[in-house]
């Protein structure tokens, strides 16, 4: 009996001991189930948010792609030209629509707020036109005189109740806005579905209540459409997997927990990885992998804020590739893209670990040097970048040669905020381009004023020539022995009615860049010869640019001016520089022979500053050489300059040429030049450039004009 009781009690105690174990197991499993359920739901929620974000971003990229494609379309210039009829505009819009696969395009006047022309598919034309008018009406800004279209450069995805559209508005020219739509087709949705790993991405009419849906805004505010998809993973799938392990028992609880933990961790890591990738793509250039403009500006601003706490400077370098458009036009955009990637790869090894290289867009790059000892660090890097870009880019066995122009700004001396520093670097870049490209330039504080004056010259020089607003002054050239006037040099001046005297260096270089040097040179010659008619015994020197001299009808135009102004040909002396002779020596020699046949005198200006002056003296028939002012400036400091001047004078006399020295300012220089046999002297010792009326008075002086009363030689 005892035995039986013992066995019975034992079984009872075992059953009692199993109750708390079972309860513990149930609690653990219940807790695991609750945790698993919460984690599964959170994972589904995160996945949905990620999918929505990816789809939204993809639609944004589709719209941006349309905008980029439109902005690069070379036919936009056809829409800007003035004087086009509506039929011409709509024909151009139709061609644009076919190339860009648009279903609607309309050109709007920004100021008047009216459509200048539209084109589109017949079944959507009226519907799109109605919606476009709503968009235009809603874009008008109130409270201003007249109606102003406020549509700016914009890209988005919209829907019209039937289909999805990529909509782009692109300002072109000064007064036009192009509005265009392209359908988002089913094939596009399938492509996005595959690319984003979002199953069954599709469009439906109406607003969906599904969590895996995204409402798309409409153009007219009345109809709605949604984009829906199948979630990548359902919560029930995850819970089913966990339930299978829960029934295994207490012995498998730890294993289930471990598996669940690992699964959740992998899912979370994947989400984080995708988010990190999306963040990286948002802050880096997709083609080159370099940081984009946003990252560069952030890094620049951060380093500028830290400058007061550091004892060094920073530098900003803006890089613009030269001849890159030629690569795209000749070899295609794929080759151009490979050149951009290769250029970035060449620049990276030149930088320190703390430096930042970014692609700002197109063929524009930027470099941030957060810590430099002096501007030499920046200029050395700029030269290294120029040298790297000058090496051939070998693409598919073809040598492609480009270059790079660099503008440099130093902080804080050139600016204490990112916008100012970037403007300074851009100004330096603009100057480097104007100086010939494939080089670098440091920003100088006077550049802004110089660039402002350059723009003024660009805008008004042509009008100044046409309105006869320029004037001439004359600087005498005197006999070395007597000091009496032998000839004069004509110099052009521009007294602007608002800005006063503008330096000839500024507007003459601008005239060369803008193709105005020929009309400017013709104006100077004609005005000088009109004045020369009043001085029949005086020779008048006129400077001639290389561009003007190489004109096919130059000799004919000179003969015409002499005849028109009724002056003797020997009164005109053309002053030529070596640049006139370098490009086509045979053509120059022929033109000079024709000019000498007319009786016109020829002088070689700035003699001794080039590389081949002696060759020119031997080959070309000059009457005079003019010793450059720089030799006299250095003559007192170095004996070598005096020896060179002495040699040049004797060379000229030996060749039977008249020798003139420019820049004579002291009696010591005059006595030296007299002693070595120089024929004519020109400089402030005798007279500054003066007006024709003042020259009339100076010609009345008997003897040495350097001794004339000051009132007779005041500068004009």
> Looking at 70-74, 517-521, 577-581, which range is the least confident one?
577-581
**Residue 440 shares a structural domain with residue 487:** no
**Length of the chain as a residue count:** 716
pLDDT at res. 174: 79
463 lies in a domain?
Answer: no
pLDDT at res. 264: 80
415 lies in a domain?
Answer: yes
Contact 406, 429 (CB under 8 A): yes
Q: What is the DSSP string of 394-417?
A: EETTEEE--EEEEEEEEETTT-SS
Give the residue with greater pLDDT, 277 vs 638. Answer: 277
| Banded model confidence at residue 15, pLDDT cuts 50, 70, 90 | very low
Q: Residue 366 is encoded by which pair of tokens?
A: 């930027």
549 phi/psi in degrees, rounded to 5: -65, -30
551 phi/psi in degrees, rounded to 5: -65, 135
pLDDT at res. 588: 87
**Residue 341 shares a structural domain with residue 255:** no
456 lies in a domain?
Answer: no
- CA distances (Å), 539 to each of 140, 171, 625, in order? 67, 58, 15
Q: Per DSSP, what are the bridge partners of residue 372?
A: 313
pLDDT at res. 275: 74
Q: What is the DSSP string of 243-294?
A: HHHHTT-GGGHHHHHHHHHHHHHHHHHHHHHHHHHHHHHHHB-TTT--B-HH
pLDDT at res. 356: 94
168 phi/psi in degrees, rounded to 5: -135, 135
pLDDT at res. 447: 60
| Banded model confidence at residue 664, pLDDT cuts 50, 70, 90 | very high
Residues 666-685 have a mean pLDDT of: 93
> Looking at 83-97, 383-397, 459-473, 553-567, which range is the least confident one?
459-473
Q: Residue 493 is encoded by which pair of tokens?
A: 């001046």
> Of the segments 180-184, 468-472, 475-479, 650-654, which one has the largest average pLDDT value?
475-479
496 lies in a domain?
Answer: no
pLDDT at res. 506: 73
**Residue 243 shares a structural domain with residue 369:** no
Q: Is the pLDDT of residue 385 over 70?
A: yes
**Residue 347 shares a structural domain with residue 384:** yes
What's the structural domain count of the chain?
3
Distance from the Cα of residue 446 to its chain's centroid:
21
**Residue 178 shares a structural domain with residue 42:** yes
- What's the CA gap between 683 and 591, in Å, rounded? 30
pLDDT at res. 203: 85
Which of 282, 317, 333 represents a domain boundary (last residue)? Answer: 282
713 lies in a domain?
Answer: no
* Tens-place pLDDT, residues 452-464: 666 667 678 888 8
Q: Is the pLDDT of residue 1 over 70?
A: no
Q: What is the DSSP string of 321-378?
A: EESHHHHHHHH-HHHHHHHHHHHHHHHGGGS-TT-EEEEEETTEEEEEEEEESSHHHH
**Residue 558 shares a structural domain with residue 670:** yes
412 prior amide bond cis, ω within 30: yes
**Residue 26 shares a structural domain with residue 64:** yes
56 phi/psi in degrees, rounded to 5: -60, -45
Q: Residue 28 is encoded by which pair of tokens?
A: 């653990």
* Tens-place pLDDT, residues 322-371: 989 888 888 899 999 999 999 999 999 999 999 999 999 889 999 999 99
Which of 256, 282, 308 represents a domain boundary (last residue)? Answer: 282
> Looking at 104-108, 184-188, 279-283, which range is the least confident one?
279-283
Q: Is the pTM of this model over 0.75?
A: no
Q: Residue 62 is encoded by which pair of tokens?
A: 């589709």
**Residue 255 shares a structural domain with residue 309:** no
Q: Residue 709 is encoded by which pair of tokens?
A: 């009363």
Average pLDDT, the chain: 83
Q: Residue 705 is encoded by which pair of tokens?
A: 């004009």
pLDDT at res. 644: 85
Q: Is the pLDDT of residue 388 over 80?
A: yes
466 lies in a domain?
Answer: no
**Residue 256 shares a structural domain with residue 386:** no
451 lies in a domain?
Answer: no
CATH number of domain containing 578 = 3.20.20.450
**Residue 119 shares a structural domain with residue 229:** yes
**Residue 247 shares a structural domain with residue 306:** no
pLDDT at res. 244: 59
pLDDT at res. 675: 92
**Residue 330 shares a structural domain with residue 376:** yes
450 lies in a domain?
Answer: no
Q: Per DSSP, what are the bridge partners of residue 601?
A: 573
Counting residues of the chain whose pLDDT is more than 90, the rounded percentage is 36
- CA distances (Å), 459 to each of 82, 440, 528, in order? 21, 26, 25
Domain that holds residue 639: 475-491+517-707
pLDDT at res. 218: 78
Which of 250, 282, 314 represents a domain boundary (last residue)? Answer: 282
313-322 and 403-411 as β-strands: parallel, antiparallel, unpaired? antiparallel
* Tens-place pLDDT, residues 46-67: 888 888 888 888 889 988 999 9
Residues 489-498 have a mean pLDDT of: 88
Contact 629, 685 (CB under 8 A): no
| Banded model confidence at residue 248, pLDDT cuts 50, 70, 90 | low
* Tens-place pLDDT, residues 619-633: 788 899 998 888 887
């Amino acid at each position: 009996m005892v035995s039986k009781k013992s066995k019975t009690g034992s079984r009872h105690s075992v059953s009692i001991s199993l109750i708390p174990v079972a309860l513990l197991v149930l609690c653990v499993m219940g807790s695991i189930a609750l945790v698993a359920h919460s984690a599964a739901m959170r994972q589904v929620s995160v996945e949905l948010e990620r999918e929505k974000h990816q789809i939204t971003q993809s639609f944004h990229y589709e719209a941006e792609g349309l905008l980029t494609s439109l902005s690069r379309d070379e036919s936009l210039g056809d829409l800007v030209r003035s004087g086009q009829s509506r039929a011409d505009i709509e024909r151009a819009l139709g061609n644009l629509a076919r190339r860009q696969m648009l279903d609607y395009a309309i050109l709007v006047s920004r100021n008047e707020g009216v459509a200048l022309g539209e084109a589109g598919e017949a079944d959507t034309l009226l519907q799109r036109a109605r919606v476009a008018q709503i968009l235009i009406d809603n874009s008008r800004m109130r409270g201003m005189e007249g109606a102003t279209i406020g549509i700016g450069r914009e890209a988005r995805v919209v829907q019209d109740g039937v289909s999805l559209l990529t909509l782009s508005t692109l300002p072109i020219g000064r007064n036009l806005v192009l509005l265009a739509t392209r359908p988002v087709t089913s094939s596009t949705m399938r492509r996005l579905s595959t690319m984003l790993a979002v199953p069954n991405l599709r469009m439906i009419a109406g607003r969906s209540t599904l969590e895996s849906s995204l409402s798309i805004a409409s153009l007219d505010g009345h109809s709605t459409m949604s984009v829906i998809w199948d979630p990548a993973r359902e919560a029930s799938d995850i819970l089913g997997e966990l339930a299978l392990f829960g029934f295994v028992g207490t012995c498998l609880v730890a294993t289930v927990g471990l598996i669940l933990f690992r699964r959740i961790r992998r899912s979370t890591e994947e989400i984080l990885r995708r988010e990190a990738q999306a963040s990286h793509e948002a802050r880096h250039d997709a083609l080159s992998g370099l940081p984009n403009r946003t990252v560069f500006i952030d890094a620049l601003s951060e380093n500028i804020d830290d400058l007061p706490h550091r004892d060094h400077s920073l530098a900003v370098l803006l890089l613009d590739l030269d001849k890159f458009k030629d690569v795209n036009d000749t070899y295609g955009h794929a080759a151009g893209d490979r050149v951009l990637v290769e250029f970035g790869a060449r620049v990276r090894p030149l930088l320190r670990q703390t430096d930042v290289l970014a692609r700002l867009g197109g063929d524009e790059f930027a470099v941030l040097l957060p810590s430099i000892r002096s501007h030499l660090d920046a200029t050395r890097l700029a030269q290294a970048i120029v040298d790297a870009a000058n090496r051939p880019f070998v693409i598919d066995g073809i040598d492609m040669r480009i270059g790079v122009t660099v503008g440099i700004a130093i902080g804080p001396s050139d600016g204490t905020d990112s916008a100012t520093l970037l403007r300074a670097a851009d100004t330096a870049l603009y100057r480097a381009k104007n100086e010939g490209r494939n080089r670098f330039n440091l920003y100088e504080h006077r550049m802004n004023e110089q660039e402002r004056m350059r723009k003024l010259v660009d805008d008004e020089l042509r009008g100044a020539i046409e309105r006869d607003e320029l004037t001439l002054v004359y600087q005498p050239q005197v006999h070395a022995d007597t000091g009496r006037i032998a000839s004069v040099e004509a110099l052009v001046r521009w007294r602007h009615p608002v800005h006063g005297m503008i330096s000839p260096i500024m507007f003459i270089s601008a005239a060369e860049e803008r193709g105005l040097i020929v009309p400017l040179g013709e104006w100077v010659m004609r005005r000088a010869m009109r004045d020369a008619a009043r001085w029949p015994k005086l020779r008048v020197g006129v400077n001639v640019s290389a561009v003007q001299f190489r004109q096919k009808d130059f000799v004919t135009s000179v003969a015409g001016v002499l005849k028109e102004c009724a002056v003797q040909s020997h009164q005109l002396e053309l002053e030529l520089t070596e640049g006139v002779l370098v490009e086509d020596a045979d053509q120059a020699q022929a033109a000079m022979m024709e000019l000498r046949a007319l009786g016109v005198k020829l002088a070689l200006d700035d003699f001794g500053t080039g590389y081949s002056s002696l060759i020119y003296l031997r080959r070309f028939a000059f009457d005079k050489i003019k010793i450059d002012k720089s030799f006299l400036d250095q003559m007192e400091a170095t004996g070598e300059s005096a020896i060179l001047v002495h040699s040049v004078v004797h060379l000229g006399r030996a060749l039977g040429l008249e020798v003139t020295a420019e820049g004579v300012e002291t009696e010591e220089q005059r006595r030296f030049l007299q002693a070595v046999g120089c024929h004519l002297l020109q400089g402030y010792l005798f007279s500054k450039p003066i007006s024709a009326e003042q020259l009339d008075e100076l010609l009345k002086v008997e003897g040495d004009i350097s001794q004339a009363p000051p009132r007779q030689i005041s500068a004009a």
